[in-house]
Amino acid sequence: MKVLLVGVTGQIGHEIKHELSSIATVVAPGRDQMDLSHPQAIAAQVKATAPDIIINAAAYTAVDQSEAEVTVAQRINGLAPGHLAAAANQVSAALIHLSTDYVFDGNQSFPYRESDPPAPVSMYGQSKLAGEQAIQTHCDRHLILRTAWVYGTYGSGNFVKTMLTLGGQRDVVRVVYDQVGTPTWAREVAKVVATLAQRLDTIPWGIYHFTNSGVASWYDFAIAIFEEAEALGYPLKMQRVEPITTPEYPTPAHRPAYSVLANEKIIDVLGYRPPHWRRSLRAMLAEYVPLMVEAGEKFG
């Protein structure tokens, strides 16, 4: 099995490469080798690689910056997936694409299923939905995997890393409590992607949701991060976590108040029930905190 992995430097892409390295030939070009802004570069890379599967873990994930950098968000999240899909069709490759809970408006109070109509409330969500639609138009053999609230050891900053930094610097950390979702470890997503890649012949094409199990607010998530990190010896300056409302922490992009994703469809297909988010958080921090110490980084 030959896999073209797009977005290898991201937190999920890094984990996918690790999961697939022993079972597939993985070609993972950097941005200098395949610029997603240029359709010709995408087509050339796909043709040269001639993969069995393309996995797109690349995205412009700066949710707030997307409101100002609309063109960039649309180009990377909306147009590039369509070019990947068209190129996949040309070489008869399957496409696995990662998407987001932010395609929903967050107005309901029960988990979103794959059949629920998208209604994104941010430019980031709109651009990701455009990417989904482009894939559905240009590639029949596709799997779109929506996930949510992703964090991991590798890649650029995420909520866990941000909280650890703030907790080491401030006495009080203020965190929104009225946005609810499911924290999801990048490694759990990568495991599912690797399983999907190995079982394409037995899985119906289309959209799937996958996150860790359980539900939390950003405030709940922050409390858990501090409790687990402190148990591992992370030196926190933070004395108190203050719950605040979304209006008390205004951001350029609107975010869904409730974006829990239903996992039943993928559980039925794969027979795999994801662990609770807190269990995965504990495992990630047990790996990450010692890495920080080994790298000689200063806390706080």
**Would you name the residues annotated as active-site residues?**
124
Residues 6+ apart with CB under 8 A from 113: 209, 262, 264, 265
Residue tagged 């069995």 (tokens)? 52
Return d(Cα 97, Cα 4) in angstroms, integer.
Answer: 12
Report whether 109 contacts 62 (CB < 8 A): no
How far is the C-alpha of 27 from the C-alpha of 5, rounded, in Å? 6
For residue 150, give the amino acid letter: V
Long-range contact list for 287-290, CB < 8 A, 24+ apart? 287/153, 288/153, 288/160, 289/229, 289/232, 289/233, 289/234
Q: Which of 205, 67, 196 is nearest to 132 (CA)?
A: 205
Residue 160: HSE in the Cβ half-sphere, 13 Å Cα cutoff: 31
d(CA 66, CA 94): 29
What are the structure tokens assigned to 283, written together? 């495992």
